[in-house]
């Protein structure tokens, strides 16, 4: 019997869409402004997952705002073919959202994919429902930009016509309520249509609710239970913000719910979701036609067992304790690393100029929504060390490279190697908090290779450096809690990354080299 330990996908892996085809499960998650887009995971037993790859590799996301980009993919399978629907959020200013929804199809969740079909720009969180009569429908949130109207103006369905590669153009509003509902998914179970909804926003009030109808177009009756799943009434629970879910049926006839949640860090008694929204699973049963958590109540379980002969053969596997990249490949390992807005080949990366080293050609500033030279990996545990070696010779304050803890353009903490006339070649910690930039004292360092290390300990971040193998601490403890969805007034939907960065603000072709990136974690 395999035991599922939550989160099954740790670190920034939100908006899970799950699918079983035969004996295999596939799970897609949102990637927002990060490349490659739409992360795909694969499992044979629901307990152990591997990163299979990504669905979309060449999207142009330049100009996309922070926490914009690719939202809420929907992965389905019909007539032997995989369908992937996704939204690209291009603008999210005030009441306005510019959103394009697309569909691609292919023989595998990793492609090759068809040319995208534009599904319109009505709203977001669009998923596909394939009815028993052979018709295909998209179901999603309808957005209303008028300030005197609710922005979330209801859940709509619209028929998709695959032969014509277009939607019908007629949307039917099937559900609305006074509270915020989004992330809809439709199922036909026991002769009724079940509408699973994300409710209460994606923060601490998040949850999953349900409605059902005997007709696809409604009317839909709301579940009498407040929530199928939520932790809004359990601020001390380990898994917070639980919501945005999808159902999948196992070969043994069991139902499993995938959903997002976060494990917050505490700072002065306040919760901060520094790791981002992660993916969890729950066992579900149906009572009087309504989905209910198998263990009772509506709070997520941290672990549970999946039964069945196939699952009985699986062994429990402890969480990974880390990994190392020696940069000995000709291409960046995009199963581990992500880039911002542009694919890795366009991100200033060179793995061939100096074998065993990653050369980063300096790019735009941290404020850029175009082409930054930054290579990042998700932070998966509150106790994480990230270590690398940098070799660079900056000759200007406008040239810098080093190790960065990144949330978005308004939230980052960077141990950078740079130069200025007063200190020469030196290290310093520079951080951005909203529109404020704060710099630590300079630490002069000699020419040559330097070891750099970051240690995340809950809500705090510390740095150290090494010369000839001897490690020395950088003075100060830095506020990792600011690198979270929950810091500041802006809408933020991603999570903390650690990685490597080079900056050449004069655009003169300066570069820096990095050797051996190593991640060590303790759950």
Question: Which DSSP category does 481 fall into?
Answer: G
Which residues make Cβ contacts (< 8 Å) with residue 272, sequence separation at least 6? 264, 265, 266, 459, 481, 484, 486, 487
Closest by CA to 193, choosing from 223, 173, 213, 174, is 213
Query: Which residue in the list 15, 66, 504, 513 is annotated as catalytic?
Result: 15
Q: Which residues pair with 257 in a beta bridge?
A: 247, 282
For residue 402, how far is the Cα from the chain centroid? 24
Query: Which residue in the list 66, 125, 182, 246 is annotated as catalytic?
Result: 182
β-bridge pairing 470-473 and 460-467: antiparallel
Question: Which DSSP category does 322 fall into?
Answer: E
Contact assessment for residue 428 and residue 446, using Cβ atoms and an 8 Å cutoff: no
Distance CA 78, CA 94 (A): 38
Burial class from Cβ neighbours inside 10 Å (0-12, 13-18, 19+) for residue 423 reads middle
Is 60 annotated in the active site? no
Is 23 annotated in the active site? no
Query: Encoding tokens for residue 423?
Result: 């200190």
Contact assessment for residue 370 and residue 421, using Cβ atoms and an 8 Å cutoff: no
CA dihedral 5, 53, 480, 506 (to 10 degrees): 180
Which residues make Cβ contacts (< 8 Å) with residue 322, sequence separation at least 6? 518, 519, 520, 521
CA dihedral 224, 182, 305, 313 (to 10 degrees): 140
Question: Which DSSP category does 141 fall into?
Answer: E
Contact assessment for residue 384 and residue 521, using Cβ atoms and an 8 Å cutoff: yes
β-bridge pairing 240-249 and 265-267: unpaired
Burial class from Cβ neighbours inside 10 Å (0-12, 13-18, 19+) for residue 155 reads buried
Burial class from Cβ neighbours inside 10 Å (0-12, 13-18, 19+) for residue 43 reads buried
Contact assessment for residue 265 and residue 381, using Cβ atoms and an 8 Å cutoff: no
Tell me phi and psi for residue 140, to 5 degrees. -165, -175
Burial class from Cβ neighbours inside 10 Å (0-12, 13-18, 19+) for residue 355 reads exposed
Distance CA 254, CA 273 (A): 31
The total of other beta-carbon atoms located within 10 Å of residue 492's CB is: 21
Please measure the distance between the N-terminal and C-terminal CA atoms of the chain and give it in whole angstroms.
23
Q: Could you identify the residue written with the tokens 């809809």?
A: 184
Annotated active-site positions, please?
Answer: 15, 182
């Amino acid at each position: 019997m395999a035991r599922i330990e939550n989160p099954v996908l740790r670190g920034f892996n939100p908006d899970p869409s799950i699918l079983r085809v035969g004996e295999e499960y596939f799970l897609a998650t949102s990637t927002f402004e990060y490349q490659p887009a739409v992360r795909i995971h694969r499992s044979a037993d629901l307990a152990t997952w591997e990163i299979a790859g990504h669905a979309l590799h060449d999207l142009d996301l330049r100009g996309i705002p922070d926490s914009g980009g690719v939202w809420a993919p929907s992965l389905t399978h019909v007539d032997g073919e995989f369908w992937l629907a996704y939204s690209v959020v291009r603008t999210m200013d005030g009441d306005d959202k510019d959103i394009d929804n697309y569909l691609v199809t292919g023989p595998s969740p990793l492609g090759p994919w068809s040319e995208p079909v534009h599904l319109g720009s009505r709203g977001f969180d669009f998923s596909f429902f394939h009815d028993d009569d052979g018709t295909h429908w998209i179901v999603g949130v309808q957005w209303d930009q008028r300030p005197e109207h609710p922005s979330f103006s209801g859940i709509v369905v619209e028929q998709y016509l695959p032969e014509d590669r277009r939607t019908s153009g007629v949307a039917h509003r099937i559900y609305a309520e006074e509270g915020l509902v989004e992330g809809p998914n439709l199922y036909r179970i026991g002769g009724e249509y079940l509408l699973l909804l994300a409710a209460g926003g994606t923060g601490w009030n998040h949850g999953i609710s349900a409605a059902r109808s005997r007709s696809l177009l409604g009317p839909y009756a709301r579940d009498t239970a407040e929530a199928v799943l939520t932790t809004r009434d359990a601020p001390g629970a380990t898994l917070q913000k639980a919501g945005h879910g999808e159902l999948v049926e196992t070969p043994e006839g069991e139902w499993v719910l995938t959903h997002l949640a976060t494990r917050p860090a505490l700072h002065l008694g306040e919760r901060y979701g520094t790791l981002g929204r992660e993916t969890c699973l729950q066992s579900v049963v149906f009572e009087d036609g309504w989905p209910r958590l198998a263990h009772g109540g509506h709070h997520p379980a941290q672990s549970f067992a999946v039964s069945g002969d196939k699952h009985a053969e699986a062994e429990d596997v402890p969480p990974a304790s880390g990994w190392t990249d020696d940069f000995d490949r000709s291409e960046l390992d995009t199963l581990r690393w992500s880039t911002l807005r542009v694919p890795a080949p366009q991100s200033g990366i060179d793995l061939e100029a100096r074998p065993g080293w990653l050369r980063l050609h300096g790019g735009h500033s941290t404020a850029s929504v175009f082409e930054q030279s930054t290579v990042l990996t998700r932070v998966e545990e509150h106790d994480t060390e990230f270590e690398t070696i940098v070799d660079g010779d900056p000759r200007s304050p406008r040239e810098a490279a080093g190790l960065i803890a990144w949330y978005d353009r308004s939230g980052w903490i960077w141990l950078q190697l740079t130069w200025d006339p007063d200190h020469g070649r030196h290290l310093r910690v520079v951080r951005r908090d909203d529109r404020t930039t704060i710099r630590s004292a300079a630490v002069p360092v000699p020419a040559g290779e330097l070891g750099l290390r970051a240690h995340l300990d809950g809500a705090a971040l510390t740095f150290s450096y090494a010369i000839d193998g001897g490690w020395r601490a950088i003075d100060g403890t830095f506020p990792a809690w600011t690198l979270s969805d929950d810091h500041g007034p802006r809408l933020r939907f991603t999570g903390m990354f650690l990685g490597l960065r080079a900056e050449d603000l004069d655009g003169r072709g300066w570069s820096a080299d990095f050797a051996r990136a190593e991640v060590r974690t303790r759950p």
